[in-house]
Structure 1
Amino acid sequence: MKLPSLSPRHAPYLLLAPFLLLFLVFGLFPLCFSLYLAFQSWEPTSGLAAMHFVGFDNFAFALQDEWFWKSLQNTGWLAVVSGLPQHLVAIALACFINLAFQRWRNPVVGAYFLPYITSSVAIAILFSSLFSTDYGLINIVLAVLREIPGISWLLPAHAVDWLNDPDALKPAISLIVFWRYVGFNIVLYLAALQTIPPDLYEAATMDGASRIKQFFYITLPSLKPMIYFGVTLSVIGGLQLFEEPFILTGGKGGSDQAGMSTAVYLYRTAFDFNDFGAASAMSWLLFIVVALLTWATNRAFRPRGG
């Protein structure tokens, strides 16, 4: 049986059809539906017929909601405290690995990258044990360090209740985010280091430039495009932070809502409080914040005079 021939003009559309179908169903439709919901009042248990148009009431409610603003403050704090050290440490480690490891470079990078692909459930079990008040490894290490003369005044006088103390919960979440994503940034910067021509370093060495000067005048300027890419990803990912605070606080935000990120609060508004309209409005407000900060990042990394 002879199969019908396919015109070369139509072949690309046929090959793209599976992706376009999946994108329409799981990408574009939810996006448009969430925008529609932002102007509706709806409880899903009442069915689609219970929707009614409320205009900008959901946005007004979100802007007057103290918890929403608190979640934005928590998200900003977590994004800065966990995001900025990621890049500082990742650049330093990428340069060290690039210089110190040749044959064993890939296994070392793989070890750093492993947390990024680790299951969220495994992370929850691991860090819940590490942050345990009575038997956690972190408190045990702090207890040992307190016995060393001269540094005890830098440490808390007693075991820290990491998961229930509002002042300790955000640093605990930031530590998890840092641990999980620093390896991803190391891979980015190490890949960028491979593209720097060795001739630049050889010429700088012949001119008497030290390693420090080579780092600041050759390495850093060459890494700037990758730093811009990595920082942009951190800004977007930090403002959408969900898994780590959700897992560590059981989805409730923790004591005094100290660990409630905006994404966690959106989830609670929709599925705990059954207010999908307000949750959709908050998600679009968060989108505006992400867009503005991404634009600000682009301006910060734009070449001078460009």
Structure 2
Amino acid sequence: MTWRQRLSRWDVRSAPYLYIAPFFLLFAVVGLFPLLYTGWVALHRWSLVVGNQGFIGLGNFGYVLAQPRFWDAVVNTFSIFLLSSVPQILLAIFIASVLDANLRAKTFWRMGVLVPYVVAPVAVSLVFGQLFADESGVINTMLAGLGLDPIGWHADRWASHVAIATMVNFRWTGYNALIFLAAMQAIPRDVIEAAVVDGANRWRTFLNVTVPMLRPTIIFVVITSTIGGLQIFDEPRLFDTFGLGGPDREWMTVTMYLYELGWATQRNLGRSAAVAWLLFLIIVLFAMINYAITKRIASSDAPHHRVRGQGKAVAR
């Protein structure tokens, strides 16, 4: 082979790796290195002021796991996550189905559902703070007008979780709806038309044709919602003026507990890093569980018929 032929062959083989190299380099700098360095800090007594004060192994992990406040934060995190993610995904699928219909001014409505996502969390917290205020809030004022007892949004644990979950749903439902809308528009129209021709109504077509073909997208949204929901910080921190998760830590999440250990009270970065790694392991575990469950459902209930065969099955 000539030198030019060898250079061309090397270019064909190496070019794909060079194209994707910037992503991996960037991930190594801003993703992998901070993760590994946090693990190194978690194994040391590390003060925010003094710095490294010596290796203590798993001592920080033992301290964190022995704290009742950490487990309260775990319960609060999962409660807010379930109250936000499940209704959020269901509502996003419904909104996407409406946007996929023949509406006037489609672009306007599709842009409108994304407006809450671009609003700053501080602005969202100010608006919802007026809704969920304990004494003069809009909701409690309406309840008082109906002769009902007011709700202690900042005193009751589960009421605060509902309020925070409502803020999360307001911000992220439209974003997920556009993801589902893109997936719905990729579904072949002949499949849906075949179901309609074979006698299936709109509801059964949506439930038995559209939703099964959305399962890969549903898996993606469930996993990303799990990762984001377990890392929630902005909404609960801005729910009151103190930012500590309530007087008895009624809505303090794991990330807020991490912040409290590292900066707010103890200023112990070693313990804070241990919380970060525990949260990382929890997220990985539940992401794998979610993926396994949704993948199994998708493989067992995947549609086996196409076009007219699938339409006849739906019609029956």
Q: Does 1:33 align with 2:23?
A: no
Find the aligned partners of 1:138 and 1:256 in 2 and give their Cα distance: 23
CA contact (8 A) 2:48 2:262 kept: no
Shift of 1:236: 0.7
Deviation at 1:251, TM superposition (A): 2.2
Provide the residue aligned with 1:124 in structure 2: 125
Q: Secondary structure at the match of 2:167?
A: helix
Q: Tell me the CA shift for residue 135 of structure 1.
A: 2.8
1:281 corresponds to which of 274, 286, 300:
274
Compute the displacement of 1:162 (Å): 1.6
Residue number among 95, 98, 103 corresponding to 1:96 in the alignment: 98
Partner of 1:4: none
| Matched-pair contact (CA < 8 Å) for 2:121–2:234 | yes
Deviation string 1:124-160 (CA, Å, 9 cap, x unpaired) is 221222222333222233334x26xxxxxxxxx3222
Q: In 2, distance between residues paired with 1:217 and 1:25? A: 45
Pair 1:100–1:137, CA change in 2 (3 A)? farther
The Cα shift of 1:53 comes to 0.4
Name the stretch that deviates more: 57-66 or 160-169: 160-169
Of residues 103-112 and 178-187 in structure 1, the stretch that sits farther from structure 2 once superposed is: 103-112
Residues 20, 209 of structure 1: alpha-carbon distance in 2 compared, 3 angstrom cutoff: closer
Shift of residue 59, structure 1, vs aligned partner: 1.2
Q: Residue 262 of structure 1 corresponds to which residue in structure 2? A: 254
Aligned amino acid, residue 260 of structure 1: M
Residue 187 of structure 1, aligned match among 178, 191, 198: 178
User: How far apart, in 2, do the equivalents of 1:59 and 1:297 lie?
Assistant: 26
Measured at CA, do residues 228 and 20 of structure 1 come closer, stay the same or move farther in structure 2, by a change above 3 Å? closer
Q: Distance in 1 between matches of 2:19 and 2:201?
A: 54
Indicate how the Cα distance of structure 1 residues 86 and 62 shifts in structure 2: closer, same or farther if over 3 A, else same.
same
Aligned amino acid, residue 242 of structure 1: F
Aligned-residue offset at 1:207 = 1.0
After TM superposition, the structure 1 = structure 2 runs for residues 288-303 of structure 1, keeping only pairs within 5 Å, are 288-302=281-295, 303=299
Over the matched positions of the two proteins, sequence identity in percent amounts to 36
* Counterpart residue number, 1:216: 207
Q: 1:173 aligns with which of 164, 170, 177?
A: 164
**Alignment map for 1:1-306 (pairs within 5 Å):** 23-48=27-52, 51-101=53-103, 103-144=104-145, 146=146, 157-249=148-240, 250-272=242-264, 273-302=266-295, 303-304=299-300
The 3 A distance-change label for structure 1 pair 61 and 172 is same
| Change over 3 Å in CA distance of 1:202–1:17 after alignment to 2 | closer
May I ask how many residue pairs the two structures share in their alignment? 287
Cα separation, 2, equivalents of 1:208 and 1:94: 23
3-state secondary structure, aligned to 1:186: helix
Which stretch of structure 1 is more off in the superposition, 123-132 or 271-280?
123-132
- Return the offset for 1:97: 2.1
Q: Is the 8 A contact 1:166 1:254 kept in 2?
A: no
Displacement after TM superposition at 1:111 (Å): 1.7
TM-score for both structures, normalised by structure 2: 0.83
1:266 CA displacement: 0.6
